[in-house]
Amino acid sequence: MHVATVCWFTALSIISVSYGADVFLENISVTKLAFGSCNRHDLPQPLWDSIGKQEPDLFLWLGDAVYADTRIFPFVWRSSSLSVVRDKFQQQKNNPNYKKFVDSGVPIFGVWDDHDYNLNDGGYENVGRTQVQQIFLDFLDEDADSWRRSRDGLYVSYLFGKNDEKVKLVLLDVRSHFDRATGDVLGHDQWSWLEREIISDDGAALVLVASGVQVLTEMTIIDKFGSTPYSKQRLLNILSQNPKVLILSGDVHFGEISCHNTSSYPLYELTSSGLTHNCLISLVPEVVCNVALNYFLSQKKRISPYVYSGLNYGMVTINWSTRQVTMAVYGQDYVVMNHSYNMTTASSGLGRFCPTSTAEHSGTWVVTWTLGLLVTLAMCRKVLCRYGIRESRLSTKVERRTDSE
């Protein structure tokens, strides 16, 4: 959390069983929550002014706040030294646009995904994760005595506001205890903690469950909860116990809105990703990626009319007088998609079903995989051209040098 908020955070936060949350912040009333993910410290960051103009009550980092690991070849990453990790986070803090946003006083919260965890697609096998956890918390200006520094992982819950305008924020750590061999994403302690948080009678009117990876999507080529069906089903079983839940997610370099019909209520997911770079595969031309995402890689849970692959951030807005919740994906200074629902209706079970899915745009499996092959070939051609031309130029230089000698 930003250093300007540390004093009152420390004074007003408590480890509380009665409220059913790790931290209770009565003094922050949430009507607007902004979030974002997938941010490179070494690329232009044009969205911070736009986010600031929305005057959010808080901002949430939802994974890949920096790319702490090092790319050595397309899709091949290695962990960086701790000094490099620390330097990248510091460079992000020093970014003029981000610094201006932070200095405005907006409270900053966050949790990591794989790249700011310093291990692409990594899990519990990351031997340096405890040290990186401290660096990440330093980036958030978390108090030196904060209990988050001693917890095994970054999962945490907050309860904001008072009376009938309480909002609960549940941040999932999808990396620290991820065991690919067993398909367990959260680990025993975090699963137990999560179930207590979801079923707790804490008076929250809205429960925001934030995950670095998507939950509801059925898209086959991305990292997601569904990559391990056991964990996805267990998570849905837990979340279905509370009709006040709304999922927030990032990771995929595009924005969309999804919905899943539980046994008693529609479970929505708002995904926003790509603060500094966009599209699913950055090596592929954006137009190719857009066509693939919107027409051939569609998924049945998507209810937004399209996928937005430009730079974007997410926003949840609550109208407390009407109990209306609006999920939105923003580009620079404009809304690119949104959907609203009524908290009272959802909680009562009257609005039991999701809106119509846009999955009718999906192609057949044959077409999907054909397009996937074409995209892969286009990507490989671009990569080979990039590196091939470079090698060709080097060879030419060597030949010329040899001739001159």
Distance CA 115, CA 267 (A): 28
Query: CA 193: distance to chain centroid?
Result: 20
Residues near 342 by beta carbon (within 8 Å), at least 6 away in sequence: 322, 323, 324, 325, 351
Q: Which CATH architecture has domain 3-363?
A: 4-Layer Sandwich (3.60)
Distance CA 46, CA 311 (A): 9
Residue 141 and residue 106 in contact, taking contact as beta carbons nearer than 8 Å: no
How is residue 179 written in tokens?
A: 């065991």
Tracing tokens 């205890």 back to the chain, one arrives at 177
Q: What was the pLDDT predicted at 281?
A: 54
How is residue 254 written in tokens?
A: 């595009």
User: In terms of C-beta density within 10 A (0-12 exposed, 13-18 middle, 19 or more buried), how is residue 41 classed?
Assistant: buried
Nearest to 377 by CA among 254, 280, 252, 285: 285
Residue 337 and residue 329 in contact, taking contact as beta carbons nearer than 8 Å: yes
pLDDT along the chain (405 residues), means of 10: 45 43 96 98 96 98 97 90 98 98 98 96 95 98 93 97 97 96 96 96 95 90 83 96 96 94 92 88 69 78 90 97 97 94 79 72 44 53 46 43 49
Tell me the CA end-to-end span of the chain in Å, nearest whole number: 61
Q: What was the pLDDT predicted at 379?
A: 53
Rg (CA), the chain: 22
Q: What was the pLDDT predicted at 350?
A: 65
Residue 194 and residue 44 in contact, taking contact as beta carbons nearer than 8 Å: no
Q: What was the pLDDT predicted at 356?
A: 81
Q: What was the pLDDT predicted at 283?
A: 62
Residue 292 and residue 298 in contact, taking contact as beta carbons nearer than 8 Å: no
Nearest to 59 by CA among 33, 85, 91, 80: 33
Q: What was the pLDDT predicted at 284?
A: 66
For residue 98, the SS3 value is helix
Q: What was the pLDDT predicted at 67?
A: 97
Instruction: Quote the longest CA-to-CA distance of the chain.
Output: 84
Going through 32-191 in order, the beta strands assigned E by DSSP cover 32-36, 58-62, 70-73, 76-78, 108-111, 156-160, 167-171
Name residue 58's beta-bridge partners: 33
For the chain, the structural domain boundaries read 3-363, 364-405
